[in-house]
Amino acid sequence: MERFFDEELAGLKHTLMRMAGLTEDMISDAMRMLVERDASLRDELNRHEGEVNQMQRDVDEICLKLIALHQPTASDLRFILGAIKTNSELERLADLAINISHKALRLAEQLPLTTFTVLPEMAALAAGMVKDSIHAYVTRSVDEARAVILRDARLNELKAQATDKLLAMMRADAATLDRAVNVLLVTRNMERIGDHTKNIAENAIFVAEGRDVRHRSDLN
């Protein structure tokens, strides 16, 4: 019975890693659609969203089975409960990637705005945070989780920079209003991606140490 539990727990970790990999790819592809004005990735994004949604159902089922059929130790129980939360965060990340792709499709039909180098930087940072946060969760690495939480501040800073530029552009030329608003919504989605990865990192610390670090200004 213990061997079965260990195998199921390993399967849970594997599924979470696969979900994270798919959401990371979705974020990168959505930003490619935006920056390169390439609509050809839309079908692949939609397919990946369906896969993530199915994995979300699978993870919830695995977690409920592990709790119902076994009596997990405190550490394993924290991991399973945290997996349910992390599972939800990953599904929301996939939704945000789809939101970005919708904005990219609209913008591809219009004249391009001035290129914002901040957008690819935000995309690379956010995708890396997804990867590192789930790795921190699965390996119960507190140091890696803390590093993800700290990087969220940089993502917020980049979003603020982009907002200032876009508002200035709208004030200077009313004809850019619709396009600038759509780009602004993309940066807001990127900021939310950072928030969700931060939540996953906080889950990792809870699993590893049993401490709730949400809403805390320190990470000690």
The pLDDT score that the predictor gives to residue 118 is: 82
The pLDDT score that the predictor gives to residue 45 is: 94
39 contacts 33 by C-beta, under 8 angstroms: yes
Average pLDDT over residues 77-86: 93
The pLDDT score that the predictor gives to residue 101 is: 95
Average pLDDT over residues 114-134: 85
* pLDDT over 80 at 3, yes or no: no
Q: How does residue 5 score in pLDDT terms, banded at 50, 70 and 90?
A: confident
Q: How does residue 86 score in pLDDT terms, banded at 50, 70 and 90?
A: very high
| Short-list 19, 22, 21, 41, CA closest to 30 | 41
Q: What's the chain's Rg over C-alpha atoms?
A: 19
Residue whose pair of structure tokens reads 């600038």 in the numeric block: 180
* pLDDT over 60 at 87, yes or no: yes
Average pLDDT over residues 173-202: 93
**Which residue ranges make up each domain of the chain?**
2-209
Residue whose pair of structure tokens reads 């940072």 in the numeric block: 125
Q: How many C-beta neighbours within 10 Å does residue 103 have?
A: 20
- CATH number at 2-209: 1.20.58.220
Q: How does residue 199 score in pLDDT terms, banded at 50, 70 and 90?
A: very high
80 contacts 137 by C-beta, under 8 angstroms: no
The pLDDT score that the predictor gives to residue 147 is: 96
Q: Where are the beta strands (DSSP E) in 102-197?
A: none
Which stretch of 4-13, 37-46, 106-115 has the lowest confidence by average pLDDT?
Answer: 106-115
